[in-house]
Amino acid sequence: MTYQTLLLDIRLPIAFLTINRPDKLNALSDQVVAELHHAARAVKQDPSVRGVILTGAGPKAFVAGADIGDLARQGVLDGRERAIAGQAMLRAFETMGKPVLAAVNGFALGGGCELAMACHIRIASDNARFGQPEVGLGITPGYGGTQRLPRIVGKGNALFLLLTGEQVGAQEALRLGLVSKVVPPDQLAAEAEKLMRTILGKAPLAVALTIEAVDRGLETTLEEGLRLEADAFALVASTDDMREGLSAFLEKRPPRFQGR
């Protein structure tokens, strides 16, 4: 598929995915959402791609929010359909079984903050700004903001951000746990790639199962989550990668994982 709003640059084993509407601050139009969903499915199905770095074109914005022109025309039914489509797109990234890293440059507001939160790890340039301003527009978050934000920063911090619409800078986002690292803007791309390559140096099956255990475990009781973890631990015990990793440790050499 040829994308109109995205740039997909595959430099194996990483897919670099850029939302490419800098004149619109990379706003999430319906077309962007549809193309992102398609790209997520395509990357998931490509066995040569092992990780994704997601960012926005230009220095001003990761994604400044949803496309207000689209929202202004919606009614009850198409509003619900729009929310469900956006949520499905984010879950496609969240559950693809490969690490997805958001490199947040500039504004990550509304749908942009929601998109970043659906990524497994977020790093930000020190000029990044995060927020969920929807209540000031007479709407609620629709792409998971009311659900992921409390899970990431806690109920009190989430309600403060959701109900005031207040934006926070990169350092405050770091303090809240919304991002894991803050770097100068000119170092963001390099740091994102360095971090992804660090993750991809680990055992692929163990990485995928760890992501799944965390994602599913957050939706259940501690007891059930521990059973999920035990199942994952048992599954990796059958892999060549486990034997290679343990042998490499004992032999004091770097492991050579094959994803088997």
Tokens 């790093």 correspond to what residue? Answer: 123
44-48 average pLDDT score: 95
Give the per-residue pLDDT at 80. Answer: 82
Neighbouring C-alpha atoms within 13 Å toward the C-beta of 15: 26
Q: Which residues of the chain form CATH 1.10.12?
A: 204-250
pLDDT classification of 76: cutoffs 50, 70, 90: low
> Which residue in the list 81, 114, 229, 244 is annotated as catalytic?
114
Would you report the helix, strand and coil content of the chain in percent, each value rounded to 5? 55, 15, 30
% of the chain surpassing 90 pLDDT: 83
- Is 229 annotated as catalytic? no
Helix 145-153 and helix 155-164: axis angle, to 10°? 140
> Which residue in the list 35, 81, 134, 251 is annotated as catalytic?
134
pLDDT classification of 244: cutoffs 50, 70, 90: confident
If one compares 38 and 139, the residue with the highest pLDDT of the two is: 38
- Is 219 annotated as catalytic? no
Give the per-residue pLDDT at 22. Answer: 93
| CATH code for the part of the protein at 204-250 | 1.10.12
| pLDDT at 1 > cutoff 90 | no
| CATH code for the part of the protein at 6-200 | 3.90.226.10
What is the tens place of the pLDDT at every residue in 114-171? 999 999 999 999 999 999 999 998 889 999 999 999 999 999 999 999 999 999 999 9
Q: Which residues of the chain form CATH 3.90.226.10?
A: 6-200
Round to whole Å and give the CA distance between 219 and 101: 22
